[in-house]
Amino acid sequence: MQLIQDRCNSLFARDYVVTLIDNVDLCPTYPLQIILVVGYLDLTVEDLTIVPSQFPEKITELMSDSKDCRTRSRFPVPVINIDGKNICRSAGLVEKAEMILKKAKATDLKDLIRDGIHTSKGEVRSLDISWLKTLKIKHIIDLMNEKTRSFMGVVPLCSGEATYEEYVRQFSLNAMPFPGVTAYKGFKEDREQNIPLSEGRKVKDSESVAILGLSTSYDLPHPHDSWDSYRSWNIVKLLQNYFRYIFHLLKSGTDQDGLLIHCISGWDRTPMFIGIIRILLWAEGLVHKSLDSKQILYLVIGYDWLLFGHQLVSRLKEGSHIFYFSFWVLQYLLDEEFSMQGTSELELDRSQSCPI
């Protein structure tokens, strides 16, 4: 992994002023060194402040403070920057139970039960919010699986829950359910055999599910369906419409309107969305301008996927082709609307068709 890390560090440094945060004991499933963009090579750091200049001790402290309320300690990390606007990734928030387990590793359990449970929950979440504010995050994209919302018996927080009230006040929350790894089993073989994509996702009313909820009003451009039909869409159409909305968010607001994307653990659906965004922005010439196609693919695979903990070998053994899908689907994201500089509406005869 060190070779991949060194190569990714070098690729970032071709276009950006970067600071490397050594991941000593922050998160075991994060890169050995977390790459933070602090400026562009064609600008001085003073011309564009992306993250605070108190490096590296203060930033490490903020990251460490945030990790206790995130699944698997996978705290928010800025991974893409466009015009000073951070695009970040993380795992989902956890409820009190996992916080207790984390605290118990370093604290006497009796003292924790007596003094620390209620306090730790509020304090840790306030520290997480403080880190997000430092990163200038406004929008949060929650890719929670529609059916599977538990992690080791603990239910991660999902947009719309009562315990999410502080985040509701501080940020623009978007619950955007997207299929997890099991949905991609046999996906590559099915495509090779030209088997049609499954239409929609069947969810029983009795199941505890995440429901689509967008914080910003956005009507899908003609001729696309309304958001009310989202459960009838196949996986490609769902992803296309999500990216229409994401680019709408990225094109609006100021550099204070950053974006955080997360699923439950943050190492399957999250790298899919982050990697696609990086590739699409690179194709426009807006990020990593000096890299060629092979280099940007190396960066996406090496940094966004492998160094951030995607278990590629395990997924392939399970028959899940989520990694394959993430690159295969790019052919349906070629239109201008999936860009920062393109038009907001499509002409019917120019739209990329969705596979049947």
Residue 295, both tokens: 């280099």
Q: Is residue 315 part of a domain?
A: yes
Q: Is residue 355 part of a domain?
A: no
Of 114 and 197, which is predicted with more confidence? 197
pLDDT of residue 56: 78
Active site residues: 263
Alpha-carbon gap, residue 293 to 310, rounded angstroms: 22
Instruction: Confirm if 78 and 16 have CB atoms less than 8 A apart.
Output: no
| Mean pLDDT of the region 53-58 | 71
Q: Return mean pLDDT, the chain.
A: 82
32-36, 106-110, 173-177, 223-227: range with lowest mean pLDDT: 106-110
- Residue 113, beta-bridge partner list: none
274 closest CA partner among 293, 296, 255: 296
Q: Is residue 352 part of a domain?
A: no
Q: What is the DSSP letter of 85?
A: E
Instruction: Confirm if 301 and 293 have CB atoms less than 8 A apart.
Output: no
Q: Which residues, 6 or more positions from 273, have their beta carbon under 8 angstroms from its beta carbon?
A: 141, 143, 242, 246, 261
Instruction: Confirm if 295 and 274 have CB atoms less than 8 A apart.
Output: no
- The greatest distance separating any two alpha carbons of the chain, rounded to the nearest whole angstrom, comes to 67
Q: Is residue 207 part of a domain?
A: yes
pLDDT of residue 119: 46
25 closest CA partner among 105, 89, 126: 105
Q: Is residue 255 part of a domain?
A: yes
Does the pLDDT at position 211 exceed 60? Answer: yes
Alpha-carbon gap, residue 220 to 346, rounded angstroms: 10
Q: How many domains does the chain have?
A: 1
Q: What are phi and psi of 88, to 5 degrees?
A: -120, 165
Provide the CA 248 distance to its chain's centre, in angstroms.
16
Alpha-carbon gap, residue 103 to 124, rounded angstroms: 11
Q: Is residue 354 part of a domain?
A: no
Q: Is residue 236 part of a domain?
A: yes
Q: Is residue 350 part of a domain?
A: no
| Mean pLDDT of the region 300-312 | 97
Show the domain range for 198: 2-344
Q: What's the pLDDT band for 98 if we cut at 50, 70, 90?
A: low
35-44, 57-66, 115-124: range with lowest mean pLDDT: 115-124
